[in-house]
Amino acid sequence: KHSSCCNPSMEVPQQLAFDIRRSQFDQHVALLRAYLDDLNRIRASDVFTHASALEQALLDRAMEAFRTTLSHTPACSQALMLFTAGMICFSCDPHWDDYVWRDSFGVVQAVNVAGESCVYVDQHCGEFGREAAELLEKVMDSELAKTPTTPLPELAHLRDRVTMCAWLRGTLAMQPLPTFMPPKLDTKATSKDELSTRRRLDDAGMEASQLPEWAQDMLP
């Protein structure tokens, strides 16, 4: 049995916060998969058959960008959830005041996350963020790729290391215990992609026992 990083009475809200963050990322992935499914249907339709060779090539390029982006999701998900688990434990640190940045009025603006943590997340999410940014450009280049009405997730905060680190410090770390679970998406992709933490670790080739102790405490 692993020791808790906080008072046992906090285990329920901690687990809820962890699940909320996991659900948020899972829904981003679900939207990407749902959009790719729409593109596959377009490619199999008469619309694609009668399109110009250039437009067909642009659609194929956009679809490949989706597949490449999605291939990087397991590693990014793992890194974000490790960071999330760490910040959930940090919220119980009685000395948290020593690790925050304040403005001239004393209002907390961000958590002073170690540079190593930013580098770690970037190493695992950088490719995903950069591919997601290129994906949007390729979608905009193709009239057929812009046809689906499925919304694309907002992933600009992962586009580069500087932006990602600012988001980790100013958003994710500043809200370690969210209480609002995002509603489930009404798409087949959503239910298919609501994977457990252990399944995502398996996809990333990582055993639960390899996680830091505080992260293991977060696993169901």
pLDDT band of residue 121 (cuts 50, 70, 90) is very high
- For the chain, the average pLDDT equals 82
Per-residue pLDDT of 136-145, as tens digits, reads 999 999 999 9
Average pLDDT over residues 70-81: 95
Average pLDDT over residues 198-203: 44
206 pLDDT more than 50: no
Whether the CB-CB separation of 52 and 86 falls below 8 Å is answered with no
Q: Is the dihedral of CA 171, 176, 178, 181 positive or negative?
A: positive
What percent of the chain clears pLDDT 70, i.e. is strictly above it?
Answer: 78
Which of 2-11, 62-71, 79-88, 209-218 is predicted most confidently?
Answer: 62-71
What values do phi and psi take at 182, rounded to 5?
-60, 140
Number of other residues whose CB lies within 10 A of the CB of residue 182: 11
The predicted pLDDT at position 33 comes to 97
Positions of E strands within the chain: 100-102, 108-111
Q: Which of 31, 202, 48 is nearest to 132 (CA)?
A: 31
Residue whose tokens read 């930013």: 118
The predicted pLDDT at position 196 comes to 41
Distances in whole angstroms, Cα of residue 147 to Cα of each of 30, 125, 152, 158: 18, 28, 12, 25
| pTM for this prediction | 0.74
What percent of the chain clears pLDDT 90, i.e. is strictly above it?
Answer: 51
The predicted pLDDT at position 218 comes to 47
What is residue 102's three-state secondary structure? strand
Helix 53-71 and helix 73-90: axis angle, to 10°? 40
